[in-house]
Every structure is written in structure tokens, then in C-alpha cells.
Amino acid sequence: MFDKILIANRGEIAVRIIRACKELSIRTLAVYSKADADSLHVQLADEAICIGDAPSKDSYLKIDRIISAAEVGDVEAIHPGYGFLSENAHFAEVCENCNIKFIGPSSAAIRAMGDKVAARETMRKAGVAIVPGSDGPVENEQDALKIARKIGYPVIVKAAGGGGGRGMRVAHNDPSLVKGYHTARAEAERAFSNAAVYIEKYIENPRHIEFQILADRKGRTLHLGERDCSLQRRHQKLLEESPSPALTTDLRKKMGKAAIKAAEAVDYVNAGTIEFLLDATGEFYFIEMNTRIQVEHPVTEEVTGIDIVKEQIRIAAGEELGYDQKDIQFQKCAVECRINAEDPFNNFQSSPGRIEFLHVPGGHGVRVDTHVYAGYVIPPHYDSMIAKLICYGRDRRMALDRMARALDEFIIRGIKTTIPLHKLVLKDPNFRRGRYSTNFVERLLAASQPLVPPKGEEPIPAHAVARE
Amino acid sequence: MELEQIKAIVAMMKDNDLSEFSMEQDGLKLRIKRGPDEFQQTVTLPPAAPAQLTAAPVSSQASAPAPAAPAPMPVAAADAKHIESPMVGTFYRSASPDAPPYVELGQEVDVETVVCIIEAMKVMNEIKAEVKGVITEVMAENAKPVEFGQKLFAVRVK
């Protein structure tokens, strides 16, 4: 087992990793930008090294400084978290060359799945169903039109170099395809320094179902069930739940098998996630693999009782998983709400600033993963997610009732958050019945226009606000 | 009230292990407190900062004896600038264990003057002053790790 690990990340995931390390008696080294000097992950780590100025490109993305910090800090492994360098094959390679264990898959696996076009081809060869689409990157407008007409509209143009909703355009006809093709390429170039795009059939109102994979270095690959992540806004996930209300036991078995086949096709080791689209007829298609720990991993942790971050560390240290697929139990139903520092009443404008008052929900079946504390100043340089609220119970109804109750107790003052939006979602009868797909949030927002703050959200009196 | 009387009260408090004594007499108010002040428990702020990095440096120069750190020269705040580390690594005052330090206290430096080496990933990086002035303090320790932004030298700017 490792003696000391460097956490190459920030925010709530850095806190999450440090917690797992502490429980495994592993010493922790945090790296941070100047803007994060007061951050919780810096406070909780055993040691901390400043690696640069606030912008990510000057700090959290600086491979040389992170490796340097790893060397002066004498660590044996680096956990990259999610985002930043977690899916950077070159970074994984540098770690390998410097004899520092990268807690994740091999650089080869990252590369294989990072190129979305190559990944599709690998899956096709492995016999995993993929969305009908182009055989490779689409080189020009004429090819785009040819492929689109062959597959049949509507189609979606997607960036080969990355995801997260960037470099994506849906087209319902020839003119919008031509426009979308060029716009997607420009956006992809900006976001991933790679303008290559491919085209897939656009599946209308699909459900986004992803399967959590764990694979050790002894060749054992398991899945830990699915997460339904259909609730999205502009391709950003808002809420995730497990099990998916749309999956039968049979379908879960089929998709789970496909997920394992996909991971094995690239000799995958460590934690990863296979993403599928599920259409209205019950057909599912591979869209991509995320070769890292994901934001919504706590949902699966509460359902199965397995600590995924600890398993990542154990696998990287060479340990066997020690259990089989048949040992995986789906014991609970769990839901996660991503709380962002954004104003849902003002087009989700980001709301950095100081948290003047914080009351975090608690009680049976409630888990909060966050890096914020009362008095903390949220810097403007990074993504806006400030907390994850996870609720679980014996069945879906209980998990959702708990979530509604917990959202009511969650008070964050001084900044705007998306808590009011989540409350709206939890009240929606279709959501409660499990009837939703990827257009749900847009429709909910449109129907609630203009979104007004619910009654009772008066500012609390000054004397009740905690002061330093 | 006489000093002798106050001394007697203090002695009495000590003998009887009393912590507080107060009296009022003929318009005179006297209050005597013994022992350390109680400290208030304030609202818990974020926990204390983590330990200073003390890891051993990677390079073989680790065995070089550290030069004695001379007392820094006094300098007016307005003129003081700092040379900060542009990277993470190990700080060395000279090119090798036997070589003299790049700069000493009181030495004049120019924008291009090499003031130290920071070793990162087996590469010895020469760090330039990027300021014109006089070295007034050496703020980093030889052969010890430094982080980004850490102050290496204080300079009185010309």
C-alpha cells in the first residue's frame, strides 16, 4: 500500500480523495493555486505545495510543476481526480516514466478511449452496439451531408477530442447540418485544440445510462450497476440516480455485460464508466467511456456500499478486488443533486463570492460531499459546483422524500445556488414517477418561466449570521 | 490603601489558592486576579494550516553544508521587492556544492543576473533576478524545497 499520495486536484473531489487516504493511513500532499490557499483540501492534507497562479492552465494543468511537487514531496502515487489532468494520456505517461503510480488506467487505455472516434471503432470491433454514425472523423462538408443522409436525420455532430457538451451540434436538415458542422469544429478547436468531429444518429429524448466499472490488475472486471444521468441542462448533469427507473433486471444484465465487454476491449484497469444512450424502444448504444472517477460516484457508493475511491487506490497499489460480480449487491436507491454556485433565476449566471452562512443537511440517509465552509470565498476561476447532496433509502420514493427534506434544510447564504431548481425537480410529478429524459430540465424551466424564488426564502437577520 | 496591605492580600490569595479578589472601601475599588487569563473559545474557523513541507530533496547536493544565513539588511518597505519562485523544486544558492553562491547579501543584481538554481525533475533551472537592485535578504534555505510564488530573495530596488 502506498505511503504517500499527491492529489492533483481541488475542491470537493480533492477532499474526497484525502478522506479515503486518511482512512487507509496514507499521508497526503495537496497542490493548490494561489486562489486556493484557504481551500479545505489544503487544510485537510498533511502537506501542501503551491503550484501556480489562479488560472487552471497556470496551476492545476501544469504537469511539470505537479511532477516536481510529487518529487520534492516524495510521493509514490498521484490521484488525478476528475477533470484537469485525469484523462490526459500524456500526464499518465509522464507519471509512468517518473516511476510515480498514476491512480487510474494506463496511458494507452486513456488514449484509446479519449479519442471518441477510435473508441467507437474499438467498440464496433468488440461487438458492443454503437450509435449508427460516421466511420471516422468527417473531413469536409460534402462528406458530412453524405453521412447524414445515409443515417437519416436528425443527426448530431460531436467533437472527437472531448465531451462535456462542447463541440456538439444537432441538425435536422441539410442547411443546419452544414452550419452545425462548422460551428462544432470551431468550438472543438477552442475546447480541445482538436477540430476533428464525427457524426452520429441523434436519438431523440434518450435516457443517459452509465455503468460504473471496477477492474483490478489481476484481470477481474466488474460493474457496480448503472446511474441514470438523464437530467441535464446544456449537456451538464444536474441530478443522478441509481437504479434507473427505466431499467428492468433483464436490461441491467444485458447492459452490464456490454459495459464489461467494452472495458475489457481496452484492457481497462481501475475505475471507469461506460456511457450508453437508451432509446424509447429499449435499444441501447455505447457513446463513450470516461476513464476516471466521476462526479456522481457517491450514488453508486450508497447503492452498493463499496468505497470506489478506496478501491481505486487499492487497485493502483496492486491489490486484488477480492470479490466477484455475484457479490455486488444493490442494497439501496440513491439520488444525487449537484449544487452549483449559479443563479437559476438569472440564466444560471455564476455566483462566486463569500459564503456568509451555511447549514448543511443531515440525518438518516443523507450525505453531503463538499469543500465549502462558512466564511469560505468561492473563487471565480473554476467550475461552479460547490456541493453534492446524496440521499438514499430502501426504495426510490424514500430516497426522493429524503432529498426533498434535505434540500429544505440546506441553507447557503451570500451566494446564489441551484438549490431552488432542485426543489422544483423534486416536486415534479413526472420526475417522481421516473418519467423523464434528457429534455426534461429544459421543459421544466420553460414551463416555470419566469422562475420566481419560492416563498419563505427571506434573507436571515444580520445578528443570526455567523461572524469571524 | 498601602502597598504593604496589597502585598498581604496577594500573599493570602496565594496561600489559599484564590484566583480572584475584589473589594470596595471608602471609594477605592480593588480587583486582583491571579493566574493566566481565561481564553475565549471562538467560533471554529477552518482548521490550522498543514505542516511546512519538510521532504528531503531529490538531488545529491543534499549533503552540501548550508551556508550560514546572515542577518538581513534593513530596508524601507517602499523600496523592497521580492524575487519569487516561478516553479516548484529544490532551491540551491550555488551551481554546485563547491561553487560560491550566485549572489550574496549586499550584491547588486540586474534583470539578467542569475541569482540561484531551482532543481525540478533533474533539471537545474537558472533563475534570473528580473529586477535591478541590491540583495537585502536571502529568504529561502539552501537545498530545501520551494513552492510556486515562494519568496527567495528580498531586493532593494534602484
Q: How many Å lie between the alpha carbon of B83 and the closest alpha carbon of chain A?
A: 15
| Residue-by-residue DSSP string for A148-195 | HHHH-SSEEEEESS--TTTT-EEESSHHHHHHHHHHHHHHHHHHHS--
Least Cα distance to A211 among A325, A349, A99 occurs for A325
C-alpha separations of A11 from A180, A311, A352, A357, B64 in Å: 35, 21, 14, 19, 39
Q: Do A46 and B50 touch (CB under 8 A)?
A: yes
Average pLDDT for B55-69:
39
- Closest CA in chain B for residue A69: B88
Closest CA to A227 of A170, A275, A286, A162: A275
Is the CB of B51 less than 8 angstroms away from the CB of A68? no
Residues of chain B contacting A468 with CB distance shorter than 8 Å: 43, 45
Mutation site for B-interface testing, chosen from A51, A72, A370, A463 by largest number of B Cβ within 10 Å: A72
Domain architecture of chain A: domains with CATH = 4-103 (3.40.50.20), 132-201 (3.30.1490.20), 207-447 (3.30.470.20)
- Domain layout of chain B by residue ranges: 3-33, 73-157
A43 and B49: CB-CB below 8 Å? yes
Contact criterion met (CB below 8 Å) for A178 and A184: no
Tell me the chain B residues in contact with residue A51 when contact means C-beta distances shorter than 8 Å: 88, 147-148
With beta carbons less than 8 A apart as the criterion, state whether B88 and A51 touch. Answer: yes
A59 touches chain B (CB under 8 A): yes
Nearest CA of chain B to the CA of A144: how many Å? 46
Q: How far is A313 from chain B (nearest CA, A)?
A: 22
Of A100-104, A177-181, B29-33, B43-47, least confident by mean pLDDT is: B43-47
A228 Cα to chain B: minimum distance (Å): 36
Asked if B121 and A71 come within 8 Å (Cβ–Cβ), the reply is yes
A410, A419 contact by CB (below 8 A): yes
CA angle B107, B112, B118 (to 5 degrees): 85
- Paired residues of A239 in beta bridges: A231, A337
Q: Which residues of B touch A95 (CB under 8 A)?
A: none
- Residue ranges in chain A whose pLDDT is less than 50: 456-468
Catalytic residues of A: 292
Q: Which residues of B touch A (CB under 8 A)?
A: 43, 45-51, 53, 55-58, 87-90, 120-121, 145, 147-150
- Summarize the confidence of residues B76-81 as an average pLDDT: 72
Burial of residue A249 (CB within 10 Å: 0-12, 13-18, 19+) is exposed
Contacts of A65 in chain B (CB under 8 A): 87-88, 120, 148
Query: How buried is residue A463: exposed, middle or buried, by Cβ count under 10 Å (0-12/13-18/19+)?
Result: exposed
Contact B121 A375 (CB under 8 A): no
Question: At which residue does the C-alpha cell 456541493 appear?
Answer: A387
Torsional class of A412: left (φ above 0), alpha (ψ -120 to 50), beta (otherwise): beta
- Give the separation between CA A440 and CA A435, rounded to whole angstroms: 9
DSSP letters along A122-161, please? HHHHHT--B-SB-SS---SHHHHHHHHHHH-SSEEEEESS
Q: Which of A43, A71, A76, A372 has the highest number of chain B CBs within 10 A, making it the mutation to test binding with B?
A: A71
Q: Which helix (H) or strand (E) holds B82?
A: strand B80-84
* Interchain CB distance below 8 Å, A72 and B145: yes
The CATH architecture to which B73-157 belongs is Beta Barrel (2.40)
Mean pLDDT of B92-119: 95
* B57/A373 touch (CB, cutoff 8 Å), yes or no: no
Q: Do B50 and A45 touch (CB under 8 A)?
A: yes
A468, B89: Cβ pair inside 8 Å?
Answer: no
Q: How many contacts does A have with B, using Cβ atoms within 8 A?
A: 82
> For residue B87, which residues of chain A lie inside 8 Å, CB to CB?
64-65, 68
Whether the CB of A466 is below 8 Å from some CB of chain B: the reply is: yes
CA of A382 vs chain B CAs: smallest distance (Å)? 19
H-type alpha helices, A193-292: 249-265
How does residue B28 score in pLDDT terms, banded at 50, 70 and 90?
Answer: confident
B-chain residues within 8 Å CB-CB of A466? 43
**Distance to chain B for A380, nearest Cα, Å:** 20
pLDDT at B48 over 80: no
Residue contact B57–A44, C-beta within 8 A: no
Task: Please give the residue of chain A at the shortest CA–CA distance from B145.
Answer: A72
Give B45→chain A minimum CA distance, Å: 8
- A94 at the B interface (CB within 8 A)? no
Which of B144, B147, B152 is the best mutation test for A, with the most CBs of A within 10 A? B147
- State the cell numbers at A178: 452544414
Most confident of A333-337, A444-448, B1-5, B65-69: A333-337
pLDDT at B59: 33
In contact, A206 and A279? CB cutoff 8 Å: yes
Q: How far apart are CA A462 and CA A414, in angstroms?
A: 12
> Would you call A69 and B43 a contact, using CB atoms and an 8 Å cutoff?
no
User: Is A74 an interface residue toward B (CB < 8 Å)?
Assistant: yes
- Whether the CB of A335 is below 8 Å from some CB of chain B: the reply is no
pLDDT band with cut points at 50, 70 and 90 for residue B72: low
Has residue B53 got a pLDDT over 50? no
Contacts of A98 in chain B (CB under 8 A): 121
Is the separation of the CB atoms in A311 and A320 below 8 Å? no
pLDDT at A455 (0 to 100): 52
**Structure ipTM over 0.85, yes or no:** no
